[in-house]
Amino acid sequence: MEMTQRKQKILAAVVESYIRTGEPVGSKNLLGELDFSVSSATIRNEMADLAEMGYLEQPHTSAGRVPTTLGYRYYIDKLMNKLEPTEEDRKAIAKTVSSGSGDPEQLLEKAGEVIARLTGCAAVSTMPLGEKATVRRAEIVPVGTRTAMIVLLTSAGTLKSKACRSDMPITPQTVERFYSVCAAHFVGKPLEDISTVMLQTLVASLGEHALEMSSFFVTLADLAADALSSDVLLEGQSNLFNHRELGGNIIELMEFLRKGEPISKLLSKGKDDIDIKIGTENEYKQLANSSVIISHYDVNGSRSGALGIIGPTRLNYAKLIPYMQFVSGLVGDILSESIDD
């Protein structure tokens, strides 16, 4: 059966009406929404064809039609007209998100809050990935006679810090030595190269200063390992209780969101800038009644992390996809600027 232009327009009208109202769509509902004149009977026949083709389904015997996963997919890929954020919305979003720009985690928390509020979905995000990241800067901040904060900034924009205690007093000469050793052995090096073997070799080479410096570099290695892992941030999960379509699945979905590892894998898998999985397209059975929209962000031209939303399949894709792309682009730009500063 051929997907004619008329069938395409009817499918788009059904999807958009169902997204807007949440009610199954009958042929009479569409009479005023199409840009061509046909009878209710003709629309009904076309809708029956679309159902036979797998794009629509009838939830109840006497009800109208609703889109299937295949129907949503066809609409998104071939029929949807994106609704870009207005200039006013862009400015408001940028103002809120950039208020957390001092730290990547705060930045992503702000971005997640904005996305959750705008979409009415649960927002998930990953911190900048450290897989290909290098040490951009290492700082030592003495906070006591024998205690200091070690701070690590990576090329991916990740900022990590940890308190550390030295076995010897921390002097200005200690601080100088720290920076000297960092410049020679850490700055510019891939995070994954900072191993136990590398540390043992380094400490052995410090000679009489080994006792004084070893704890600082062990802490720095801990921070590098921490930066290599992808932290998942979650915002707005209570929004999911507002979607009646998720009612029977909500507890299972909430439990799934609490597990960091599957979400991390979900966010890191997509290769495209924007990745949309609808209902049964999702590999996890807990998401079989949900849609996931993931938008990746780049830091200095390299894929670094992702922001996503999880909600019902009945989402305003035309609006939400451009909003997700705008926020993820904004996050990438802010992170890139923070590294360049």
**pLDDT for the residue numbered 302:** 78
Which residue is it, tokens 């990547």? 104
CATH of domain 5-79: 1.10.10.10
Would you say the C-alpha torsion 310, 313, 314, 316 has a positive or negative sign? Answer: positive
**pLDDT for the residue numbered 276:** 95
Q: Which tokens is 147 given?
A: 């205690």
Residue 248 and residue 60: Cα distance in Å, rounded? 18
Residue 216 and residue 199: Cα distance in Å, rounded? 11
Consecutive sets of 10 residues in the chain, 341 residues long: mean pLDDT of each?
A: 92 95 89 82 92 92 86 97 95 90 83 94 83 84 92 82 91 93 90 85 86 89 82 89 86 85 79 88 92 91 88 96 95 83 59
Sequence-separated (6 or more) residues with CB below 8 Å from residue 134: 154, 155, 188, 189, 190, 191
Helix, strand, coil % over all residues of the chain, rounded to 5: 55, 20, 25
Residue 126 and residue 229: Cα distance in Å, rounded? 10
Residue 54 and residue 51: Cα distance in Å, rounded? 5
Instruction: Extract long-range pairs of 18-21: CB within 8 Å, 24+ residues apart.
Output: 18/66, 18/67, 18/314, 19/314, 19/315, 19/316, 19/317
CATH 3.40.50.1460 fits 135-228, yes or no: no
Residue 192 burial (10 A CB sphere; 0-12, 13-18, 19+): middle
Residue 281 and residue 268: Cα distance in Å, rounded? 16
The amino acid present at 112, given as its one-letter code, is: G
**pLDDT for the residue numbered 68:** 96
The correct CATH number of 87-129+231-340 out of 3.40.50.2300, 3.40.50.300, 3.30.450.40, 3.40.50.720 is 3.30.450.40
**For residues 211 and 204, is the Cβ–Cβ distance under 8 A?**
no
pTM: 0.77
Spans of all domains in the chain: 5-79, 87-129+231-340, 135-228
DSSP string, 315-337: --HHHHHHHHHHHHHHHHHHHHH
Q: Which tokens is 119 given?
A: 């979409």
CA 279 to chain centre: 18
Which residue is it, tokens 């046909």? 38
H helices present in the chain, as ranges: 5-21, 27-30, 40-52, 69-74, 87-98, 104-119, 172-185, 196-205, 210-228, 250-258, 260-269, 317-340
